[in-house]
Structure 1
Amino acid sequence: MSVQDALLAYSLAALILTLTPGLDTALILRTASVEGGKKAFQAALGIDAGCFIWGAIVAFGLGALLAVSEIAYSVLKWCGACYLCWLGTQLIFRPRTSFNPSHGKAEAVGNWFLRGMLGNVLNPKIGIFYVSFLPQFIPTGHSPLIWTFLLVAIHVVMGTLWSLILIMTTGYASAWLKNNSVIKWMDIATGGLFVFFAVKLAASSR
């Protein structure tokens, strides 16, 4: 596979993956709707950081352990499921009842970044995807280390642009979404979605 063919094929596959609705999309939409675009972008950056962490794991060969070890896969899978379940139950049983963008500003910066990053890092599906997917698009004779980070960077750029589109689109409905009852029920609905993802992750297999 030539360099041009590899980049074209990977970019198409990564674009489809990026546009497919999933946990990251739900997190961005919920955060943009309830917390505002700035915090949603922080969550997006956290998701990007999680992608680079997985890319580093794959690039340095540690991802092979996850691919062949059932124990390693199961441990990470259950950690991810527990984290998503905790996040979901927090939203269900302690939903916000008001919108105050200035409240807890310093805490929120790290909080939403970490939520985005942990939601990505603790999802073994991302790791398995990268381990099995990325090597297919590394041209023969080229550095796996450099190409792995290049492919991850392409995925991250696409994800960031998509997150910005989601954030800007959500902004048009900001007045309606700032309604207190809307915020409360959006938290509950999103919490239920996170719990669904947690159950789905826990029940998944390779």
Structure 2
Amino acid sequence: MLKFQELLLFALAAFVLVISPGPNMIYLISRSITQGRMAGLLSLAGVMVGFLFHIIMVSFGLTAILAEVPFLYELIRYLGVSYLLYLAFQAINPKGKFVFEARNDLSNDSPRKLFTMGLLTNVLNPKVAMFYLSFFPQFIKPEHGNPLLQSLQLGITQMLVSFSVNFSLVLAASQMARFFAHNPFWIKIQKWFMASILVALAVRMAKSKA
């Protein structure tokens, strides 16, 4: 099993990635603002099931591939560094869209469609796939035991972090949208803070060794 310090660092990385705007967050906030909290929660349920798909695919896939082709660790590591730096740039990009400016002209959907769209939004989300592919190998160590069990432990941790953050966003979406609309200065603070953390994670990943 993973050491507590490593798991805590991974949880921090998962937190930073989940608060960086992406398809999941934009969809959940849009639904919550447009159709209410229940719609946001139904969409979130679909998103969480989508995480299970990614965890199963990545856990079994990485365990097999990294065991047979060790040099792929270095390739995945540098792809992960590049992706983190890209997210950092997107966070401060003046042309980027702030997540609480999400679409508010969506039509009302049925509970089944809300769940299905949440599921598909996550399954087809490249941000989630890139996070798993680039971060899992950095924390999975043979000396800590079965790589598959470590991967599943990381996946469960990421799901708990993501659920906690997104659940809070769904409940507070309308209030936060109004707050940022009246306090645009805090948008800049949030963007630069997020970019700084992403760069720090990229540097940490670049220095890590197999």
TM-score range (shorter-chain normalised) is 0.5 to 0.7
12 and 59 in structure 1: CA distance in 2 versus 1, 3 angstrom threshold: farther
What are the superposed Cα offsets for residues 63-102 of structure 1, whole Å, 9 maximum, x if unpaired?
62144x5xx2564145313542454256863335355283
2:84 aligned partner: 81
| 8 Å contact kept, 1:23–1:197 | yes
1:97 aligned partner: 101
C-alpha distance in structure 2 between counterparts of 1:28 and 1:101, whole Å: 19
C-alpha distance in structure 2 between counterparts of 1:153 and 1:25, whole Å: 18
Give the CA deviation at 1:19.
4.2
Tell me how many residue pairs correspond in the alignment.
Answer: 183
2:110 aligned partner: none
Aligned positions of 1:110-125 closer than 5 A:
110-113=120-123, 114-121=125-132, 123=134, 125=135
2:36 aligned partner: none
Give the CA deviation at 1:109.
6.0
Identity of aligned residues (%): 11
Give the CA deviation at 1:156.
2.0
TM-score (norm 1): 0.57
C-alpha distance in structure 2 between counterparts of 1:15 and 1:173, whole Å: 28
Aligned positions of 1:18-167 closer than 5 A:
19-20=11-12, 22-27=15-20, 31=25, 34-35=29-30, 36=32, 37=40, 51-52=55-56, 54-55=58-59, 56-60=61-65, 61-62=67-68, 64-67=70-73, 69=74, 72=75, 75-85=78-88, 87-89=90-92, 93-95=96-98, 97=101, 100=104, 102=106, 110-113=120-123, 114-121=125-132, 123=134, 125-130=135-140, 133=141, 135-138=142-145, 147-167=146-166
What residue ranges of structure 2 are gaps of 5+ in the alignment? 33-39, 108-113
Aligned positions of 1:149-188 closer than 5 A:
149-179=148-178, 181=181
77 and 161 in structure 1: CA distance in 2 versus 1, 3 angstrom threshold: closer
Which residue identity is paired with 1:156?
G
What residue ranges of structure 1 are gaps of 5+ in the alignment? 1-5, 139-146
2:8 aligned to 16, 27, 50, which one?
16
| 8 Å contact kept, 1:84–1:119 | no
What are the superposed Cα offsets for residues 131-156 of structure 1, whole Å, 9 maximum, x if unpaired?
xx2x2232xxxxxxxx4333322332
TM-score (norm 2): 0.56
